[in-house]
Amino acid sequence: MLPKLLKNDYHEATKLSFLSVQIDPNYVDAATQPAPFKRYPKFFRRFALDLENPTHSFLHFTSAITTQKMYREGAYSLRVNPSAGALYPTEIYVQIRGINGLLDGIYHLEVETKSLTLIYELIDDGLEGYLVDSRLIKGYIFLVSCVYFRSSWKYKNRSLRYCFLDSGHHLGAIEASAYVQDYTAQILFDFDHLALNDDLGFENKEFVTAAIVVGNVKEKPVRRLRSPIPFVCGTDYFEPNRFVEAGYKQTLLPTNHQQEISQPNFQFEKAKFLQSIQKRRSARRFHQSQITQEEFFAVWESLNQPIATQSDDAIAIYAVIQSVAGIEPGIYRGKESLKTGNFREKMGYLCVNQAIARDSAVLFFFVSEFQNYRVALQLAGLLGQRVYLSATYLGLGCSGIGAFFDDETQAFLEAKGSILYAIAIG
């Protein structure tokens, strides 16, 4: 039995330091990696996605495989969403109601085969029944979930962070695909997670982290699923991690959400933006090259667009400017200069001796005095997805950085809040 931990304890207990990395360098035998794709049994009906159809294309680009990379251990399918260690703990389910050509039901998005698996047909019931507002939604309700063992297999307790950051990236990928189709989306973090996990048949092996609604609200209330969906394991084998399970449960307490919902107003050219979704990759090195001020501010602009959610966990953005034409190198909080200087070596060191942090043009840090760890990390991941896509759109490289010496980084930035995530562009 784990002692009951408070919200900040999960952050505290998963910090990296110079010493912790020496003691546990995180080596795993690649041959034991759990399966990265969930498959429902063959008897569930599948519908192939036809990319000529805008609805199918919308669903496909929330999660698509966009390239294959060969490693010694075999081929890796890389996707529109990045993932810490390319372990892809996230899955997508989508309830579809009142959309031409698709049966009303709950589908699992089977990324590997580019298809939708119908796992539940709707009658008078649906996912609305688990939301705070249970009125019928005509359109789509996406659920992002985590098959956490895919990540805890390697990252142990710190995988709690990566599950939430990866979920946030996936939310960002859905936001992006919706933008291409001119759809507006609303992100929900508060709903009856436990009942939903039970009814979706997740046992303790998978959990829902967020929902996104793309559709119109009707007056009629909807009841919860009339029968549970059978359990299907998202991996080929499973080892529990009670810390991750307890860390998730701790975030299910209700949080404040007074904020009015504002929609982001991106100014991308849609066809080029869709290409950026398809082309997005993590840069594997930078060359200390300079970027222009226009490029920096274009990324900044997309980062600072509102996030369409009522949740009000605030993320402060710190930018370590290393090489932007006309901007003095140094640390900035928002647009306020905190200290000037060349911190390349320090940044490389703080990000666990990663050259991409040292050699980038800008290193962003997302910082928060969060109320809810799950929500704050997902917001950071979503912002990370925006940085990736706007950088790709501009022809720049980008990489998420989830590994940093927590306390030393926080002290160096003189930040009050916790460091949730870093992301480099160049």
Ligand X SMILES: Cc1cc2nc3c(=O)[nH]c(=O)nc-3n(C[C@H](O)[C@H](O)[C@H](O)COP(=O)(O)O)c2cc1C
Q: Which residues of this protein are in contact with ligand X, per CB under 6 A?
A: 78, 82-84, 86, 162, 165-166, 169, 281-282, 354, 356, 399-403
Cβ-Cβ contacts under 8 Å for 242 (sequence gap 6 or more): 2
Joined together, the tokens standing for residue 288 give 């200390």
Q: Which CB sits closer to ligand X, 187 or 356? A: 356
Angle, nearest 10°, between helix axes 373-393 and 159-180? 50
The tokens 């389910």 sit on which residue? 93
Residue number, 158 or 193, with CB nearest to ligand X: 158
CB contact at 8 A, 312 and 259: yes
Choice between 84 and 299, CB closer to ligand X: 84
Query: How many Å apart are CA 352 and CA 55, to the nearest integer?
Result: 42
Is residue 340 helix, strand or coil? Answer: strand
CB closer to ligand X, 97 vs 280: 280
Shortest Cβ 221–ligand X spacing (Å)? 37
- 224 versus 279: smaller Cβ distance to ligand X: 279
What is the three-class DSSP state of 95? strand
Report, in Å, the least distance between residue 417 CB and ligand X. Answer: 18
Which pair of tokens denotes residue 92? 């997508």
Size (the chain), residues: 426
Q: Which is nearer to ligand X, 128 or 166 (CB)?
A: 166
Minimum separation from the CB atom of position 134 to ligand X (A): 33
279 in Cβ contact with 349 (< 8 Å): no
Nearest to 196 by CA among 274, 255, 277, 131: 131
Tokens of residue 406, six digits: 């927590």
What's the min distance (Å) between Cβ of 225 and ligand X? 31
Q: In 13-123, which residue ranges form alpha helices assigned H by DSSP?
A: 18-23, 54-60
348, 358 Cβ separation under 8 angstroms: yes
* Smallest separation (angstroms) from ligand X to the CB of 266: 21
Residue located via tokens 């034991």: 32
Q: How far is the CB of 308 from ligand X (least distance, A)?
A: 21
Cβ 84 to ligand X, closest distance in Å?
A: 4
Q: Which is nearer to ligand X, 67 or 216 (CB)?
A: 67
